Amino acid sequence: MGNDARSTSGGSSSTLGLVYSSANANAQSLIRIFNGTSSNDWMHSGASVTLTLHDGSTGTTVGTWVSPLLKAGVSMQFPIAEIESGLSPGVTKPATYAITAQAAKTGMAIQNEVLRSNDGLLSNMTACDTGVASLGRVLINVHSSQFSGNYPSTVAITNSGAKTLGFSVEIYDAEGGYFMGSFPTPIIPSGGHVIMSVAAMEAAAHITPSRFTPTYVIRFGRSSDGDYNFTAFFQHLVNNTRSGVITDMTTLCPVGGPEPSYHSVDGSLHTGLIFSSANGSGQSYLQIANTDSVAGTVTLTLQDSAAGTSLGRWTSPSIPAGAAQEFPIGDIEGAVPLPPAKPAYYGLTVQSTFAGELQHVLRANSDSTPTDLSICDFGTGPSSSRLNGVHSSRLDATFPSTVVVTNTATTPGPVTLALYDATTGTRLGAATTPPIPAGGHLSLSSSELETAAQVTPSASQLRYVIRTEGTFSGFLQHLVTNTNTGAVTDLTIACKLQLDSTKDNQPPLGATLADVPPGVDLAHLPPGIDLSRLSPSLRDLILSLQ
């Protein structure tokens, strides 16, 4: 057994951060593996993923486990105890692992779900070195209505395109991969959402759930105008009925990189569901981070979730470079002349004058547990070297933060973590960690970071931005604990803000052949071009050349 954090050879790999072992008394991980091979390869042979388990505290390789062969389109869930069957003889199970996932085939993905024993909270704690992603047009392991008692799933569809459209939704058995049924959604206005329980989806697709089909893979088919090339995306929410906490199960970790399947229409960012102050489940908080070198503002257009109509616009105060400021949805509503009856949900269109990130945190009405619901049409992709909104020790009594640093290098090494005031962007100090074992991770509370950095937060300094300094091979993860219930949730994920459509290399809306720059080969356009932005004549020409 060695200490090489990336000891497997050949193929593509990713390293998951904090994974709970079966020896952990309070929480255990469930690993989901998805074969996301493109649809034109569904009939080819399946693929497996090799998981190399590293002791989280020492980085030592303690075992290897190979998944069964998964057919294209299949997503299977494995309790950590099953994966631990690959532990080397005589190994004592550590409390946590870092896991390197290796696949010979691109398109594989992995997800780390965590089930807590004390309150039954099921949450998504996927963090990895290749960056967390959402596939947009595919959801994995959506709970069938057999889970309607404790963990009912809800699927939201956002139409971020310019056209009013409906969509065909296809439902597959997650473990078998076979098609079970499909149904057309209602027509969704541009900027609008459709929110459906899984029971309603099963009824629409004429599916009778059974205990042999506990979860589904859900995909888009064609749009109502017969096209596959549209801009819409899924979101998968799970209601933990015991605690009243809603968690987002959309994101996963690419192993070799699933291709993104959706793109912005107009250069703005479009979000998934935002919970209004009238929502009985929870309240949304938006954290806006300016990662640019100059101050700037963000403008939000609030849209009625069902109708897609604009309800009003809100422009943030000037946010300094390096800052990450939080805005409750109630404050935003108070600055917008909304109708007396607020909708339960909003959609948001976000335009920014700076490069940055938007994080959507939902605080449950039941116990204020925060969960990360950051889903948007640009996809998700937190920086591996930056965390926004890390709680200072001023919040230790209620919601203390923990920063997990995973070292993916092949040698041990320290990392320097700089603390910035989240409101002003001012650098307050820096802490250098002890050497972190190769393949291992180190968990640090905010109090420990403050002590090492010689930072004493004032009464108003509730949050930090934390950034690595110098060379660092690895990634950061942000966990928050509810001290009243013991629930631990992951607040790492954020959406990337774009300045305008040119940042995403998209053509102008309604572009014709005259707008095509000289030298562009219409038969070989770069990936990610949104054809729905084009005039019908130009789009038809391009499709005829493919």
User: Quick check: helix, strand or coil at residue 3?
Assistant: coil
**pLDDT tens, 74-97?**
999 999 999 999 999 999 999 999
CA angle 286, 288, 292 (to 5 degrees): 170
Is residue 494 helix, strand or coil?
coil
Say which residue, 213 or 435, is predicted with more confidence.
Answer: 435
pLDDT one-digit tens code per residue, 179-228: 999 999 999 998 899 999 999 999 999 999 888 889 999 999 998 888 87
Q: Using CA atoms, how far apart are residues 64 and 66, in angstroms rounded to an integer?
A: 7
pLDDT at 49: 95
Residue with tokens 């994974």, as numbered in its chain: 19
Matching residue, tokens 């989901």 = 32
Interval 345-404: pLDDT, tens: 999 999 999 989 999 999 999 999 999 999 988 667 667 889 999 999 999 999 999 999
Helices (H), 133-252: 198-204
Q: What is the mean pLDDT of residues 12-39?
A: 90
What local confidence, expressed as pLDDT, does residue 135 receive? 76
Using a 10 angstrom Cβ sphere, with 0-12 exposed, 13-18 middle and 19 or more buried, the burial of residue 522 is: middle
User: What value does the mean pLDDT take over residues 398-415?
Assistant: 96
Average the pLDDT over 410-432 and give the result: 97
Contact criterion met (CB below 8 Å) for 351 and 268: yes
Note the Cα 163 to chain centre separation in Å.
Answer: 26
Q: What is the mean pLDDT of residues 298-313?
A: 92
Segment 131-163, tens digit of pLDDT: 888 878 899 999 999 888 899 999 999 998 888
Task: Specify the fold of 1-117.
Answer: Hypothetical Protein Tm1070; Chain: A (2.60.290)
Q: Whole-angstrom Cα distance, residue 424 to residue 327?
A: 15
| CA 180 to chain CA centroid, nearest Å | 27
Q: Tell me what pLDDT residue 459 has.
A: 96
Q: How many CB atoms lie within 10 A of CB 540?
A: 12
Greatest Cα-to-Cα distance within the chain, rounded to the nearest angstrom = 70
Q: Tokens 């979730």 appear where?
A: 305
Q: Is 519 exposed, middle or buried (0-12, 13-18, 19+ CB in 10 A)?
A: exposed
**Which pLDDT score, from 0 to 100, does residue 499 have?**
58
Residue 128: how many CA atoms within 13 Å on its side-chain side? 26
Bridge partners (DSSP) listed for residue 528: none
Determine the average pLDDT of the residues in 225-248: 90
Determine contact, residues 496/473, Cβ cutoff 8 Å.
no
User: pLDDT category, 257, cuts 50, 70, 90?
Assistant: low
Residue 501 has pLDDT above 90, yes or no: no
| pLDDT value of position 117 | 86
**How long, in residues, is the chain?**
546
User: What value does the mean pLDDT of the chain take?
Assistant: 88
pTM over 0.85: yes
Nearest to 8 by CA among 143, 100, 120: 100
Where does residue 471 rank: exposed (0-12), middle (13-18), buried (19+ CB within 10 A)? exposed
294 three-state secondary structure:
coil
Strands, DSSP E only, in 415-473?
416-421, 427-432, 441-445, 463-469
Question: In the prediction, which pLDDT does 106 show?
Answer: 82
Helices (H), 278-360: 329-334
Tokens at 309, concatenated: 């109509």
Q: How confident is the model at residue 468 (pLDDT cuts 50, 70, 90)?
A: very high
| Domain boundaries along the sequence of the chain | 1-117, 511-545
Question: Which secondary-structure segment (H or E) carries 452?
Answer: helix 446-453
* pLDDT higher than threshold 80 for residue 263: no
Q: What percent of the chain has pLDDT over 70?
A: 86
Three-state secondary structure of 212-271: CCCEEEEEEEEECCCCCCCCEEEEEEEEECCCCEEEECCCEEEECCCCCCCCCCCCCEEE
Q: Which two tokens stand for residue 382?
A: 């937190």
Instruction: Please give the helix or strand (H or E) that residue 328 lies within, else none.
Output: strand 324-328
Number of neighbours of residue 21 by Cβ within 10 angstroms:
22
Per-position DSSP letters for 497-529, written without gaps between them: E-SSGGGGTPPPTTB-GGGSPTT--TTSPPTT-
